Amino acid sequence: MAIFFRHMTENTLVIIGGDAAGMSAASKVRRSQPERKIIVFEKSAYTSYSACGIPYFISETVKSIDELVVRSPETFREKYNIDVRTMHLVLEVDTQNKKIKVLDKERNEEFWQPYDQLLIATGGKSYCPDIPGKDAENAFGVSTLKSGINIEKFIEDKKPQSAVIIGGGYIGLEMAEALLIRGLKVSIINRGKQLMNTLDPDMGEMVSEAMRKLGVTVYCEEELKAFDLNNNTINAVITNRQSIPADMVVFGMGSAPNTDFLKGSGIEFGVRNAIKVNSQMQTNIKDIWAAGDCAESLHLISHKHTYIALGTIANKTGVVAGGSISGENPHFPGVVGTAVCKICSYEVARTGLLEKDLKELGIEYVKGTIKSRTRAHYYPKSKDITVKLLAEKNSGRLLGGQIIGEEGAAKRIDVLAMALTHNLTLQNIIDLDLSYAPPFSPVWDPVQTAARKLINDV
């Protein structure tokens, strides 16, 4: 294979990764510096797409994969003068000589591309243990548009009757919903005692029970050990307890930073091999930034660095990185760990710290859980909602919140996320002038009802 060396144009910004963080940064730099040379290398055929929408494409709620694409490579090239090169995989970063090795996948040619400034925005990758069969033709991760297209094509062509999802986190549950809608018999294998390890055990158990009510077979405290393979096709998933037949397998075990290609580059890693960055998304190497699902974040409550892969964070950190690259002085303050998930009629939300986090940090806390309704009890279609709050003993400062319910439940987590971001107390939450009308809420919103109950224990 021939390796070429491409001549550098002065003051070239090179971006590795053409999705949320990378293209947000590129767009920000272009607005600030209209004449700047910007090159983006993207390993897939798509740019600026919503990976979060993949389960809804598979369920056919979203009819076309094109609906998940915000801006095409052609749009970036023609309208924004950003040199986007799809189907280009970056293999190596030479920080000493300020160049990257790139594979043009269509021509099967490698070349070195120099840079003046570099942004790494390579995102995350679906996690799976390194065992035979993980690349079988009926085994799928869910992290790129291509993976969504592959799953949809497999369902259409092969007409699978059963699916085993490995992992009970957000992706696992959203894929369970999608496959249920498509008529498959769905099983979930989960290593923990309950689904959603981002919730406290009592709330996670509620999610497990909700999934069972929907017809999903849930196997908790079971771990993937092997696959029963035949001609690169998985016939069954073998756990530490049993063998579960499967026509298709989906990996819902979360994501890991896509940073393996950076080993030996001198770029410093942090939590789970995510790239260490400061509040301006700068790495430890001059002229190199990182943003999105490949970088770590500061947690505003624990004051420790963490790894959270979400589109919201990717877009925000991309804009900050673009501003910093442009010579501005932006800062990304950090996260509080807010996330929501929908599984058929059920909604799940969380923000802040869990009980186990508070115990590890040695923070004395109180907790309280209430059950309420999403609307006035007399208004049609009012649904159940459960709210759990964690607060600091004595001060009453909010430390975390979790919500499980049906329609109208999950987005209430945003009130708690705002409270955490600004160090509000339970009393502050009670005093908030939240909106009220019977179609939207009881007179006391459930998050305020939970705060009223818990404040008595502070």
In the chain, count H helices and then E strands: 11, 26
Q: Pick the catalytic residue: 52, 220, 294, 341? A: 52
Amino acid at 384: D
Q: Return all residues near 42 (Cβ < 8 A) that are at least 6 apart.
A: 17, 18, 19, 22, 73, 84, 85, 86, 87, 88
| Contact by Cβ (8 Å): 153, 248 | no
Amino acid at 140: F
Cα–Cα distance measured from residue 265 to residue 39, given in angstroms and rounded to the nearest whole number: 20
| Contact by Cβ (8 Å): 316, 332 | yes
Q: Annotated catalytic, 52?
A: yes
3-state secondary structure of 371: strand
> What phi-psi label fits residue 196: left (phi over 0), alpha (psi between -120 and 50 degrees) or beta?
left
Cα–Cα distance measured from residue 421 to residue 405, given in angstroms and rounded to the nearest whole number: 24
How far is CA 453 from its chain centroid?
Answer: 32
Q: Please give the DSSP secondary-structure letter assigned to residue 301.
A: T
Place of tokens 């063998």: 243
Burial 316-352 (b: 16+ CB within 10 A, else e): bbbbbbbbbbbeeebebebbbbbbbbbbbebbbbbbb
Q: Return all residues near 324 (Cβ < 8 A) that are at least 6 apart.
A: 280, 281, 282, 289, 330
Query: Which H or E element spans position 317?
Result: helix 311-325
Nearest to 249 by CA among 231, 235, 263, 260: 235
Q: Return all residues near 409 (Cβ < 8 A) that are at least 6 apart.
A: 347, 349, 374, 383, 385, 403
> What's the first-to-final CA gap in the chain, in angstroms?
68
- Indicate which residues carry an active-site annotation: 52
